Amino acid sequence: MLKIINGKILTPSPLPKDFGVLIEEGRIKQVAPISKLPLNVPVIDAMGNWVIPGLIDIHIHGSSGADTMDHDPDAYITLSRFLASKGVTSFLPTTVTASNQEILAVIENTQQYQQQETGARLLGLHLEGPYLQAQYRGAQIESHLRAAQPEEYLPWLKTGVVKLMTIAPEIDGVMDLIRTGISMGVKFAIGHSNASYETVLKAVDQGLNQSTHTFNAMPPLHHREPGVLGAVLTDDRVYTQVIADGIHLHPAVVKLIFRLKGIEKTILITDAIRAAGMPDGQYNLGEEPVTVVNGTARTNTGALAGSTLILKDALKNSAKFTSQTWQDLLPSATSVPAESLNLKDEIGVIQPGSFADIVIMDEQLSPHLTLISGKIAYKGSDY
């Protein structure tokens, strides 16, 4: 057993100051007044800091020099430890459009890594592509874009590793993929798409439940042809992923999304590449060369190529852009992404029964201590 005391607990809603958290066997056993918690157990003193659910990034390619497409267990170790140091306790490593052989290699690597325990919790894989629209490919390699064929994607899905796929529903075979994937527990996001409003709604009817980096890699909103944006912004069944770095979206657009969708349907993501946490310079995103200048990543053609964003900074930026507090917006980086993956009671919350994935942070969102399943995954100098 272990207990956390003397912190300002967000579950993500706030609790009275005299509350503490009791942890047993990797899960939260009790959230109660400190006076009602057992006395003779080890104590973590939050020292007046915030005690929050661990952050969840469901769209991240890499950070700290490592990338999902490295298909190397050491890359996941590097990435998961880096994320834990930034307050992220769960993540979906994300691929880029690639050959069948490459995707199978990443899936195999993910299966191998899941046997290890280090750093942030790897929830499975997010496949971004390869069934995307060439017109809005962004930094995706056009030669790898293709129609969806069951003989290709069924072996991926049958592994149970794939938890989320970004697709363009107008591509041949994708509607059948959505129906099949939903029956196997896979979630779907629309992205890199030029689908009509009506096509998007048909995909949502089949089970698609979110949009990838909303506004990016999709046509602009048109008042007579609402298209992808018109559908995802007005359908209450759809979660909207947002890159709140001030580069991918103007601050006013971030504010607009939160106003239209509400915190309960907005998911903060980073779409970070291996350059996150690294100096400016030359990198790659899959097979695509990328140049990072002043923290902005672009391909040789000038297209944005992911970001160098850290999720806690996305939360901080969103608070600034919307004139709300980061405490109010916290669910968009914790309980909302968990809910979008049907993990509502497992992660992203501090409540009895959930995993003890907890971060102690100060008001500036600097992590002091990160617990994953009740074990210390990162600690600052004051612990």
DSSP class of residue 374 equals T
Tokens of 183: 């029956």
Q: How far apart are the C-alpha atoms of 286 and 204, rounded to whole Å? A: 29
Contacts of 301 (CB under 8 A, 6+ apart): none
Give the helix, strand, coil percentages of the chain, each rounded to 5.
30, 25, 40
271 tagged catalytic: yes
Tokens of 105: 């290699």
3-state class of 133 per DSSP? coil
The torsion of the CA quartet 8, 10, 11, 14, rounded to 10 degrees, works out to: 90
**Read out DSSP for 84-121?**
HHTTEEEEEEB--S--HHHHHHHHHHHHHHTT---SSE
Q: How far apart are the C-alpha atoms of 63 and 65, rounded to whole Å? A: 5
The H-or-E segment that residue 311 falls in is helix 311-322
φ and ψ at residue 236, rounded to 5 degrees: -70, -10
Tokens of 44: 């973590």
Round to the nearest angstrom and report the end-to-end CA distance of the chain: 18
Which entry of 271, 280, 313, 357 is annotated as an active-site residue?
271
Residues marked active site are found at: 271
